[in-house]
Structures are given as structure tokens and as C-alpha cells.
Structure 1
Amino acid sequence: MDIRIPRGTQDILPGTSEKWQYVESIWHDICRRFNYSEIRTPIFEQTELFQRGVGDTTDIVQKEMYTFSDRGGRSLTLRPEGTASVVRSYVENKRYGSPNQPDKLYYTGPMFRYERPQSGRMRQFVQFGVEAIGSDDPAIDAEVIALAMDFYKETGLKGLKLVLNSLGDKESRQAHRDALIQHFKPRIDEFCEDCQNRLEKNPLRILDCKEDQDHPLMESAPSIIDYLNEESLQYFNTVQDLLDKMEIPYTIDPGLVRGLDYYNNTAFEIMIEGDGFGAITTLTGGGRYNGLVEELGGPKSPGIGFALSVERLLMALEVQGVELPVDQGIDCYLVTIGEEPSKAGTAILAEMRRAGIQADKDYMDKKMKAQFKAADRLKASFTAVLGEEEWNAGKINVKHMNSGEQQEVELNQLTTYLKKKLESEK
């Protein structure tokens, strides 16, 4: 039987998983510094959540969701994105009643979309995301953007480009919507079937079409900026002013359209500039979604958030040649020679590990020379050698692998000796 991994998924093997752990540690730390708390939601939800929360005119809902019926006949969907689930939890658990507002949350986890797999775009992929729910202060928009930018910079990524747009409030969007319909309607038959279906339902999504992106009507389409009312324009200007004060550079792109229906006012993407990234240059997308909480049955609670792909982040770091500090080796490799020392090695390892020392030994009955080669492969800082003679004398030989310095140590003092040596090298 030839059983293989499903298309669009991947095994994250040792040697690579450490890189994931490293960027995850940065993610958790920066969210802590910004005072965001972690939330963990189910991998599958009721299908209606995404139909209402993401929007039934989006490609995600129409083409990309993994939907199935359970044994009770209920329609469930593997989550294609994180925001709808977080907002559902916010409403269901009445977090709007907490005295700490806005409710600042972050998440990490796998998402699922049925689309053509390619580099940086998988059917099962992992997202980091944040959601700040409960405030319509432009300052929280600027904070969310700053968190994303700071995270990327701390991973070592360079060439970042922040792109901003405003989708306006409900009044502004309606005026822009009417203008888009008038603009595209006379020649809508020249566009793809998806765009034709979107014309009356959500014409803004036409601007995000990849198939018709070179159509001349795209370039001449009405800009949302020209339809922002005074309140929306002031909001957008305030966000820009706050970013200027934090010295975060950005570019205004009136054509920036987020792919989900719930966005309004601030929308942004973080892209990467430079060679080697192919067609996928967007690392992060996000924006404000006033109205989504009400759509899912909660009180009026404006929100803003973003999500980023871990796969794209790691791909970008690799293209830029950024070496993540993950292959540091172990602290000590225990070499045992003889039956009694080998038996004693298990207890010696246990003591070292309980003291916080990263240690290992041979389990394949290798000769001493092969054990030393294993210590080299594992990049051990120290090698502790215990033979029959040392065992009978209650001692052990410790070798510093870089300097070659050797020291005979009382066996019951090994852990203390190693801890002092390791701490002195930090």
C-alpha cells in the first residue's frame, strides 16, 4: 500500500520545526509586549459562521472551503481563516462585558483552503493573527499595524513595504459601490463569470480579480478615496498621522481591496520587495471590520485585526538568506563504555535533564569512537566519558569540545560542574 501525504499539505520535519518554534517564540513575545492575550478556537466550526462572517460572495466561501456533514447532519467547515472564529467566541463568551476593552486577542493555528498548491500557498497552512475588538479609536489601528511591522523586523526580515487604503464607512462604501456598478456595468460581459456575479452583490470584489486585472476598466475604476465622506477621511488621516509619529513608512494604494466582505475603513497589507519571491509578495493582510460582531449576534463592537502566513514568512527569510539561531547543538553527550556504566547512564542523564541541561547518550550499542562521532553530529558543547575504571572510582571525564580541555570530575558533582561551565559561556 502506497499511502502518501495529501496534496497541499506538508510534513514539518526536525531541522525545520526548530525554525517554526523560533518564529513562534518571537510571535508570542511581541504579542505579550503589546498586551494581547492568546485565544484558541476549534479547527472546525458551523459552516454558517463563515458564510455570514467571511461573506458568501468571496472566493473562500464559494470555492475554497472544506465543508462536510457530521453524523448528526450538521454542516461543518474546517476554518479557512481566524477572524470569524475569534469574533464568534467573543460574542458567545460575552467578552464584550469585560471591563478591559478593547479585547486584545491573538492566535496561532492551522487554516484550510482548497486551492491550487504552490510555493507559499498550501491547502493546510498556519496563520498568526491578532484581533482588537471593542474600540473605534484610530490609535488601535496604528497599534495593530505596528505590531505586525515590529514582528517581521524582529525575525530579521528586510525590504518590507506597508500599503494602506481606506474602504470608508457604510455611507462612503455605498457611494463608491454605486459608482463601481455604473463604471463596470456597460462592459461587464467582457469580465469573467465571477466578476459578472459580483457586479450587483459586491462590486468592490471586482477590483481584486486576478483573472481580469489587466482589463482597461480596472485602471480607470473609481477610487474609494474620492468617495470618502468627511468622517472617514478624517479617520484615515489620523491613522496616517499616528504611523508617521511612530516612524513607520507606508504607501497609499486606492486599489487595495481585502478579499473578505467584512472590512471597512482601514485596510492594509505588508509586502516584501526584492528578487526571488515570484508572484507572491504579500505577507500580511488586515483591516477594520466594524459590523462583524453585530452580524454574528453581538452588540455594536468595532474591531480590527490581521493574519499572516508562517509559510510565507519562512520562505521570505530563506530567500533573503536570514540565518535563524536554531541549530545550537546540545549541552552534553554522555559516552559510556561497559555494561555497568551504560546502565548508570540512564540515571545520570535523568539528573542532568532535571537540572535543565540538554543531554543525550547512545542507545544503539555503538563503540566509543562512534559515540564521539554522534557527539560531533549533535554539536555537543561537552562530552562526558564514563568507562568501567571511572565508574569504579566514582569519577567521570568531561571534555570541552571546542577547546579540547579535559577535566576529571566527581561523578556526583557532574551536574553542578556542567551547569557552572555552561552558565559561564552564556
Structure 2
Amino acid sequence: MTNHSSQSTDLTSLNIAVIGGGLTGLFTATLLERAFNQGQNQQSSCSPHITIFEKSRSVGRLATRYRTDSSTGKNWQWAFGAQFFTAKTASFQQFIKPWLKTGLLQPWCAQVVTISPVPEDENHNETLINIEHKEQWSTQQPRYISIPKMTAWGRVLADKLAHTTIKFQTRVAPLAQYTRPEVGKQTELFDDTGTSLGWFDWVICTAPNTQAVELIANSTFAQKVDITKPRMLACYTLMLGWDKEQPLPKALNNQPIAGWDVAYVKDSILDRVFIEHQKPSHHELLPSVTIHARNDWSEAHVDDDIDMVKAQLLEAAQQLLHWNQSNAPSQIDCHRWRYAATVIDAHDKDKHEGLGALIDRQHRWIVSGDWCGQGNIESCYQMAQEAVTAIVSY
């Protein structure tokens, strides 16, 4: 068995733990397996062993929620997490090509507008809707979505992993360093009941930074202070649906700008509106609209009663979209994301660059995640790249 270079790690001998089964964790496992396959003898049966520990029941963190109408059998569907992603770097563009070819990932050339609520004293004018054209997303700088749901890509990534075990509903306890002299430095992980999860040569934490702080708090991680530099802001998501035969509110009924798909909201606690049933390959959906609240407003109300928050968001949405009793949404749901947007203090780090993956080579611990970059899906990939590079070149 040969190494990548005289100084690189023999991946076939490694036992690697990845904490978190979001996209950063899945990308990391995928790139680790590829590094092995590219650097080793194809006839060898040896392989590194990777274990992903995920506290929830699913992977990917590209959240989709749906409901089925009993009379039509059709679904309402809401991408209530990330709505889309971009691929600006050549390496990430190359990475997503296989799924573009299969159609799992598709470009979304949305018609984008700006919209603002009509003041109360002007509501008597039924034709007054403040919508202005903003831009048309193009294939030159595309936004991508996963088909048929945003969760689909994460599940496909997980299914393709050949040397990785995913353990769901497993909460990893805060890290401590232990050494087994006969095999060199390793870390023993435990779950939250105190049961050992095994010994690992490398531990990669891909959890949101608030959770990473808890995992690393009592350890000797070399870059512990850097984990607290980015700040995660909350986001509330409102999900609305209309019945098949029900008229849509005027603002959604292709007026006054035909066929808009995305709206940036002005002068409101709301931030963006996404029309789900107009996305590529979503034409079979019942009318479904996802609305994200502003991050600053969400953070200020992050611990409020969820029903009270939903009522405030509904009031703002009604003022924005102009529904009445006849065309009010029949489906209403609300979700709170505690860790949605990444903010880095410009005094600590250039906010356009981010921290990068935090690597402690002495302990063989890595802390990464989209919050180490710009808080988007491409940052998940970039942090996975940095983690894998550190392990392969160790």
C-alpha cells in the first residue's frame, strides 16, 4: 500500500469520526473516500473507516417539509431551510457535475422582484401592489436546487458512501483526549449517556459553532477561542399553502409582474418570499409559498413563543400578499432555526474570507462547517476540502 507522498497519511489505517451529518459532514466523508480511491491500489480491499455521528434521524440539513391533500393526492411542499445554492469556484462546479448530469441538481432561473407592504390607509385601493422587477437569475451565474426535494441530494450523497457508517440519533458528549501508546494518539468519543463510541485517529466536528463550543469547551483544542468569533443568527420560516381550486392572493396571481418566483421584501419583518410550485420540476405541487423572516428580527425573538411569532409573521405576510377570507392560505406552518446565518466580527476576521477550517494537528481534531466560511453550501464544500487536505497531508 502506498502513501500519497512520503509525508502523507496512509488513509487505509485511519479510523475517522465526523460529528454531524449535515452537508459539511457528507462532503467530508465523500472527499475522504475519493482521496483514498485516487491514492491507493484499486485491487486492495483495505480502506479507511469513517463514522458519521448525527443527532437527528436524517442527513443533509437541506430541509423540506410537505403535506399531502387527501382529496387530490397532491402535495404542498416547502424548502424551509436553504432554498438554493451557488457554485462560484471551479472545484465546486466540478464536484456537482455528476448530479447535474443526472438531473438531481437543476439550475433555477428565477424571476426576482422587490416587494413592500402597502400602508394601512392605502388598502382601500385593491390594485395597489408594490412590486418592482429586480433581476432574472441566469445560467451564467446559476442558482441550483435539488429535485424533487432539497433533501434529496443529501440522501444520495449518503447512499453513495462506501466506507462510511452513519449512526443516527447519536449525541456525542464533549471531547476529551486519551492516548493509547500502542497505536499512537487517539481520541475516545462517548455519547451523552457515557457509552463509548470508540477510538478515533481524527475527529472532525461539523456542528454549528454554538454546539461546537459545547463539544470543545473543556478540551485543550488549540484554536478554541476562534470558534466563538462567528455569531450565528436565527431565522423563522413561515410556510403557506393554498387548495387547488382556491384563488390566490393578488400579489401571487402573476400581477402586476407576470410569473415572479422570488421576492426581496422591503420595510417589513419579512426578508424573502419563494414560490415553491414555480420552481423547476415542481409543477405538480399545490400552491406553496415559503417566507423567511429577517435574521435580526428572528434573533431578537428567538426565545418567544412560536405561536406568537407565527401570528406576527402571518400578519406581516397578509399585509404583503393581500389575502382576504376567500383566498387566505389553508395550510400554515412555522419553523424556528436557531443557527441560520453567520456573522463574523470584521475586527476579528475579514468577513469575506471567513475563518477556514480550524485544525489542531497535535490532537488530530478539526472543527469545520459552513460558519467557518461564508455560511452557505459552497462553504460546506470548501471546509470539507480543507479538512481532508489536512488529514491526507499529515
With the length of structure 2 as denominator, give the TM-score of the two structures: 0.27
Q: Which has the higher contact order (CA 8 A, sep 6+)?
A: 2
With normalisation by structure 1, the TM-score equals 0.25
